[in-house]
Amino acid sequence: MKKHIKILVFCLLVPFVWAGCKKDFPIDEDGLLITNRGECYVSSFELLGSDFQTVRSKAAVIDTTAQTINVEVFFGTDLKNLYPQFSLVTDAKLDPKIVGRVDFSDLSNPKTYTVISGNRKVKKPYTVIITVQK
């Protein structure tokens, strides 16, 4: 009899536990949590070569007002095989996504990446301007 009571209690509790695990948080098309944060900026930037070592000759200059990132790379850097790394404010995401190496060889046509806030309502395009060290 005790065994049947345990099974009955278990069967009655499972639906409540299952309902309690239901996701009530909104997620975006990338499976990321949408929050109420409206901040939208780049906090740091790194540029790596094909050997995954930095190719910057000095720290990148991030202007959050003009929404630009100015970075100088060493002379002789292979601009066709670079790996940009962005650090963003909490809950923000980057568009387009960086899934591998990026070709920055056309210096007259800088790349633009859009930072999207955690609430997905604020979007700010950041232009990455690369110069080569003399």
Q: What single-letter DSSP state applies at residue 91?
A: T
pLDDT digits (tens, 9 = 90+) for 27-59: 999 999 999 999 999 999 999 999 999 999 999
Give the whole-angstrom CA distance, residue 13 versus residue 59. Answer: 57
Give the whole-angstrom CA distance, residue 36 versus residue 108. Answer: 37
Average pLDDT (3-25) is: 58
* Residue 18, domain member (yes or no): no
Range of 118's domain?
Answer: 24-132
pTM of the model: 0.80
* Residue 47, domain member (yes or no): yes
| CATH code where residue 38 lies | 2.60.40.2340
The candidate with the shortest Cα–Cα distance to 52, out of 74, 83, 73, is: 83
Domain count, the chain: 1
Give the whole-angstrom CA distance, residue 117 versus residue 77. Answer: 33
